[in-house]
Structure 1
């Protein structure tokens, strides 16, 4: 298992425990404790999964600062990259960098109704996405075996 896979599986449990935020809410965490998939990933990546250690204030008040915190936390960013990789859509480029905007991509996926069913992703859909990302991270992350001195 990879560290990123473990983070994503933990994010599944975080979504189950805290609930999925309303995609129309302007922040990553709602006052009642429900979280967006990205906030759940960050919570899992930082290990603050209990109610006694809440998310940093920007997740409740300032989406731009919250995005920067996610980008600046390597474990969070790795998990976001894997989650974005398994979504059925392609991310748009960030206007500032020209690189794919993975945070906006996941936000959009979570808020956009499915063209066939007309419904937005629910808790089960988010958990399935995170589980697929965990499986992909575990399967496709290659690590070198420990080097040993020749006998």
Structure 2
């Protein structure tokens, strides 16, 4: 199974190749099939693009939430953002946090992050995870 860092790298590649979708649904129709950032993470984790991404937002959310590797990667992106996720039903809504961040202008700005900025943030999150996994664990004597 791919590591979370590798899933993030693959999602960044998908966004570079296919484009970032910030409109209705989780994927844009057409030959390129631009993806929402969370959909790109799901495709990188699960190696498939469900038809629901083009037609059914609720089913798409259920699919993404059911993929633990995708959710781990989405939580990593969320942790790399400058804001905190809102809560839905008493729990942080990481998908909403990440998707809205990629599609909404930051406070004081007039445009959302560019695709390159989104990819850059995803790759920084991947680098942070990769670095953390290579650091030795320190055990302190009691």
- How does the TM-score come out when normalised to structure 1? 0.81
CA distance in 2 between partners of 1:81 and 1:75 (Å): 10
CA distance in 2 between partners of 1:18 and 1:60 (Å): 14
Post-superposition CA distance 1:66-105 (Å, at most 9, x none) = 11111111111110110111011111111x2x11100111
Query: What residue in structure 2 maps to residue 52 of structure 1?
Result: none
Report the aligned-residue RMSD. Answer: 2.0
Select the structure with the greater relative contact order (CA < 8 A; seq sep ≥ 6). Answer: 1
The within-5 A match list for 1:32-43 is: 32=30, 33-43=33-43
**Number of aligned positions between the proteins:** 134
* Structure 1 residues 64 and 141: alpha-carbon distance in aligned structure 2, compared to 1, 3 A threshold: farther
Structure 1: give runs of 5+ residues left out of the alignment. 49-54, 146-151
Structure richer in helix, relative to its length: 2
Q: Provide runs of 4+ in structure 1 moved above 4 Å.
A: 141-145
- How does the TM-score come out when normalised to structure 2? 0.86
Per the TM alignment, residue 144 of structure 1 is displaced from its structure 2 partner at its CA by: 9.5
1:118 aligns with 2:116: no
Query: What residue in structure 1 maps to residue 87 of structure 2?
Result: 93
Structure 2: give runs of 5+ residues left out of the alignment. 138-142
